[in-house]
Amino acid sequence: MLDWQPVVLSIKVALMSLVAVAILGVGAAFVMRRREFPGKAAVEAVFTLPLVLPPVVTGFLLLLLLGRYGPVGRLLSEVFQVQLIFTPYAAMISGTVVAFPLMYQSAKAALQSVDPHLEDAARTLGAGEGRVFFSVTLPLAWPGLLAGLVLSFSRALGEFGATIMVAGNIPGKTQTLPLAIYFAAESNDLTLAGLYVIIISLMTFALIFWLNLWSKTRDKRRIIPFGEVG
């Protein structure tokens, strides 16, 4: 019998990761676009590191950071009596970390594509920085940001290595779809593993298909028919 809990948990974890990645990724890209400072290249390398590191290595580093004896884990445990390891929140954090580089790079490219003269024009008309960002920068960068959001959601949805390191594989609590697929296959339940593979494949395919369809529709709307020019 198909257990839908890993599906529901994976969607919840991916959505929570998406919210965090959207805020952190766009914020980091905005700051890095506007500011020059010593060590900027090193900071950008750190931002991109989870993209090239094996997910298990990323998970191990998170375990050192968030574990009971890690700096963040100890602080949360002693001050707030909160433990993140082996909880759904640990899965969300791992999804956020591995998806962050995709969102950051997409947001960086999208923001750099915005003509700064348009932002300057808005400022000369009296718009503050917040209004310039939400009224000019964000709408113009939205297509690139949307692509980053879709890629980040798909990456968080499919995360395995870092998740199993910090969240474990607790059925009904931290078992996400990729973990359910692995352990179903390991138990020789290939039918169940195949069903989960179909579900996660359909979800990611639907997202990418929708993004491509939206992009084509948007491009068609921007094309001015030759007979209407003049």
CATH number assigned to the domain comprising residue 68:
1.10.3720.10
* Cα distance between residue 83 and residue 168, in whole Å: 14
* Cα distance between residue 178 and residue 159, in whole Å: 7
Residue 197 inside a domain? The answer is yes
* Cα distance between residue 178 and residue 163, in whole Å: 9
pLDDT bracket for residue 96 (50, 70, 90): very high
For residue 35, the model assigns a pLDDT of 84
Residue 44 inside a domain? The answer is yes
> pLDDT per residue over 34-82, tens digit each?
888 898 999 999 999 999 999 999 999 999 999 888 999 899 888 888 8
Can you give the pTM of this predicted structure?
Answer: 0.87
CA 57 to each of CA 51, 102, 153, 208, 228: distance values in angstroms, whole numbers, following the listed order: 11, 18, 21, 28, 57
Residue 55 inside a domain? The answer is yes
* Cα distance between residue 61 and residue 55, in whole Å: 10
For residue 17, the model assigns a pLDDT of 96
Residue 76 inside a domain? The answer is yes
Beta carbons of 89 and 157 less than 8 angstroms apart = no
Mean pLDDT, residues 186-212: 93
What are the structure tokens assigned to 202, written together?
Answer: 């359909």
Q: Domain span at residue 107?
A: 4-222
pLDDT bracket for residue 218 (50, 70, 90): confident
Beta carbons of 30 and 57 less than 8 angstroms apart = no
Residue 229 inside a domain? The answer is no
What are the structure tokens assigned to 50, written together?
Answer: 């989870």
Residue 94 inside a domain? The answer is yes
Residue 227 inside a domain? The answer is no
Residue 13 inside a domain? The answer is yes
User: Which amino acid makes up residue 185?
Assistant: A
Asked whether the predicted pLDDT for residue 163 surpasses 90, the reply is yes
The count of domains in the chain is: 1
For residue 33, the model assigns a pLDDT of 86
What are the structure tokens assigned to 171, written together?
Answer: 């059925």
